[in-house]
Amino acid sequence: MMKYFLVLVVSFFIISCGSTQVNYDYDEQINFAEYKTYNFLPDMQTGLSQLDANRLVDAIDIVMQQKGFVKSETPDLLINIISDQYRENSQNSVGVGVGGGSYGGGLSIGAGIPLGGSKDHQTITIDLVDSKKDMLVWQAVSDSNIALNTNPQDRVSYYTKVSQKIFKNFPPEK
C-alpha cells in the first residue's frame, strides 16, 4: 500500500513540474511564405532586465535565421517581446488522517501537508507584426517555470530553449 502511495505522490510531483507551455494564434488569411525579413521593435518594453532581454533577442535571432529569415533594417516582420513574472503557490498536498471509534463514538484527526513550495513563472508574449500593414499577424504566449537565482550560462540556456519552443510551429502551415 505504501508503495502505491509513493508512486502516486511522485507522479503528482512530476506532473506539477511542467515545462514550457506555448499557445499560438495567427491570422489564417496571411501567406507567411511572403515574409523573408525581420527585426525587433526599436523601443520594446520587454519587462526583462537588459541582460535577459539581450539573451532572449539573441536566442530569437538564432531561431529566426535557422528558419531562413534575414534580419533587416527594412523588415517584413517586426518582433515585439512582452514578459511578466508571477509566483504560484503549490496546489498539491498530501492528506493524512487518523480515525477510530467504537459503538457510536469516534475520533478523527486530519491534516494537509503541502508538497513542494511556490514556483516562479515567467510569461513571454511574442508578437509578430506586418511592418507594411502595421497589423499583428502571429502571436505566441509561453508560460514556464523559471529559476530566478541562476548563473548567466543557465539563463542563456533557458532563453534558448524557450525561444525554440515558441517558434517551433512558426511559420504556420496552411
- pLDDT given at position 88: 73
Model pTM?
0.73
User: pLDDT tens across 53-67, in order?
Assistant: 999 999 999 999 999
User: pLDDT tens across 4-56, in order?
Assistant: 433 333 333 333 344 889 999 999 999 999 999 999 999 999 999 999 999 99
Q: Over range 146-153, report the average pLDDT.
A: 86
Three-state secondary-structure class, residue 102:
strand
% of the chain residues with pLDDT over 90: 62
Sequence-distant contacts of 9-15: CB under 8 A, at least 24 apart: 9/94, 9/115, 12/92, 12/115, 13/92, 13/115, 13/116
Residue 148, pLDDT > 80, answer: no
Least confident of 112-126, 134-148, 156-170: 112-126
Distance CA 79, CA 50 (A): 17
38 CB-near residues (< 8 Å, 6+ apart):
64, 69, 70, 71, 72, 75, 76, 77, 78, 79, 128
Sketch out the chain's domains with CATH numbers.
20-87+119-174 (3.30.160.670)
Phi-psi region of 68 (alpha: psi -120 to 50; beta: other; left: phi over 0): left
